Structure 1
């Protein structure tokens, strides 16, 4: 069993498998480090006959790992083939004089040659021959090579500069650009294939990093909050185990006192109760200890990310800081998802004893009828404050056009890339364009316009629900129409998959009034049609994630949110008695899904897999309707129906 965490310092490196201080640490190619004994035992229990050559999955990140020179070795010997990070050995208190630094290129050829230096860019230990060869290579002439003395004096240099700059998609290419449109880093191949139409790609090789807009301190603070949450979870579980042990001992003591009054008969009952109680304690404490080990592994990963980013801020250059912050930022979603799935609440279990109230029938009753030992579950929900982003009301904007008529009824909204806003006013048959400062710019008359989406350039698409049409508009002052498409059925929601492809939703009028969604080209060709066997005949809205791989659909009439792949695969269905009449739906930059409840007066915040994070009610206006995110994914516009008026609210995600 792992030692008490209070006996360790926060900086002491732990093995993710045994949750103990690292012993003979071995580091895999994915940079995760384990005790040699724990790693060896894990490898031997794994299926090592994966893919084209012997390998195993990393216990932490599950990445396929190929041991160096493993073809001639048995799996039980693999662990010893992985390198020992010198900086870790020094950090663990190993005698520097006993630490050997081996040349990585030579070791890959199964030669053990003492290293004389370390290349920061290549992240390799080098012997004297390899250093000279390294300096003769044109592409490596500018690389920084640290001496062994420099490494020994400051062992955390190697740990903190171990930042991967390889593209996650094209692993043979280095990261060269940051796409501000998609908020992601990419290589030259990605820039040509996936980002050719993006408005701004920042070259990471330039000296000007001001355009990156990345603050690693935000990531550190989020990691700190998750770390604190996990530590609280671990401590609460430990207290739960102690309480279970105390209660079990009290039950045994109670039974012994009762035994004195009923002599031999209670010998049987006492044996049963003690055995059952100890059995329950053993089963439940094992479960809780297993859960704590999982939680501790998550904590170790979070602490490692925080320590790495702290060190990069002190010792790395700006590119290292940016790349590390980006990499760790992508891990935050995994950390948060693990918290939602595994650590939503703690089952506080109590062991109780029930004695039969009639002693006249003792002789005819079995021991388990006379006394019952069982676990009573009490759920304590932990606070997630500060871990997940909650929108705060930035301003309430009363957007008014210059036209007269009915009170505006905004059924659709879209945030254009330049910060302008287009609203569809269903009651007044108008599309209204507003500047980033919320001043009225132009109107365009359309019969019963419904939902809207941005297509490309200055063009938007507007669904004309009852007319079964989609109108395209150029959103400049004045607004001008471009083309119009006809749909098979009533169309409500609309979203853009690309500049030439749309997805729409609604319900059919073929007699069953089932909900549907379909993919159309901007020329009107239907490429895919998917019908949901649920009669509703009421409003729908759509949203797609940033990678355009998942479609989220709210169905007002059946109080349901669906998530589909573009091939029609159903990923999840979300229903809740606290979500009444779902309407507007949007996806933030971290891929969290937000759904408005028109009649429940709230917004449900979901993980990409449909797990509920929280229900937001504070600051949400009465009867929220449409919801649309701006280009950054950090701000959304919310319309609502209150009495006879329709208002717009701007929310910022903190």
Structure 2
């Protein structure tokens, strides 16, 4: 606002002091015209000429105009709770230094910024610099949302941890009748260890939750102030709040995000050793089982590079990469089922090798430094290709098989794990010579069709993972104990490809949510990442 009728100190409360309110559209043209109207819809002070546009344009005729003095009275009465005052001099903020990006009172402008080239009135610059949406508010909202997610995660994890601990006595009771003399002491020992682990974990989480609740409270309070200013304050007041809270928003978001990135999922399980032989010493010294503590951290996926698959050269159709893997040196290998090709890309995703196949390939797996194996579905073969350091691709050998294979991965040096289709066995073991062996686990009684299931194998812990696209399920089979976990969650819709990720966790392509979902070996959802791709496949 520009003042007329003298140069009184800014904080003096003089009766009948006159304030000229300047037209904001005129200010944007570097013209100073006294405003006599205020548009409640445009949230803008306007002079007579500018406000008359409301009578000319049909789209503006529904806007409500009031006298400028009425709007000023409302805004002057709005309590900024000290945010409109300079921290150093406690005077009303009226200026903004564009050189140093600082709000100033009249004293600041004269004393601290006299050498700056661009010190302008807040009233003149607020309308120009204000964005349609409050970036500070968005950051506080993001902080509030992330803080709520942390608290929800902590509470949910605590509940799951409590359930895990409480399941241990049930596991122990299954064999209690066989070794009743030993189990009383066993239960005391195991529960004590589990509870000790739980208490240590809860102590850490309580601290995180307490810190997060403080951050949540701070973010909520500031959001209330921002909402109030945007509902009742002037553009200048809104601008001041944005600037005053800019650092708070950044710091709060950083603090909450640090806690969010450090979230972890913890579980406790007890596996009993069924080969137990009665020892000639105290059960507390010999525990017939293994207490396993599982701590998994959610991973963060960061885009590195990407390519658009387009029909080029001798392609007969737009490429569809139904299989993908990485060679040990970082080169990416893929199979294009529509154009019957095996392709090699470098780390920049530049195509450096191509090989024409005689059949539509389905999946590919790296099996050595320079070797890959490819499944072919209806051709009843798997082929071994050699990819040299120069990216020259040659056929090593072809192995005939008796079933239709889709996904494939190494089980050990002599065997593969393959996914079937048009078969009631979703997966089996195949030797290098093509001989089949079944897993000694009970699979669902149904027939799988092409592209409706995929499997992988973790040889470090003998875990077989199977996806079922139609049922939106992930099965995790522990081959050693002949047990399974069935994972069903809203984050997993139409699961397709599956692979072993960091720390032996499992990564799932969720077609229905366009995301990559990370789960633990015990079936806990650790993280879910939306990706800039529709229908992730492998």
TM-score bracket, normalised by the shorter chain, equals 0.3 to 0.5
* TM-score, normalization by structure 2: 0.45
User: Which of these two proteins has the greater Rg computed from alpha carbons?
Assistant: 2
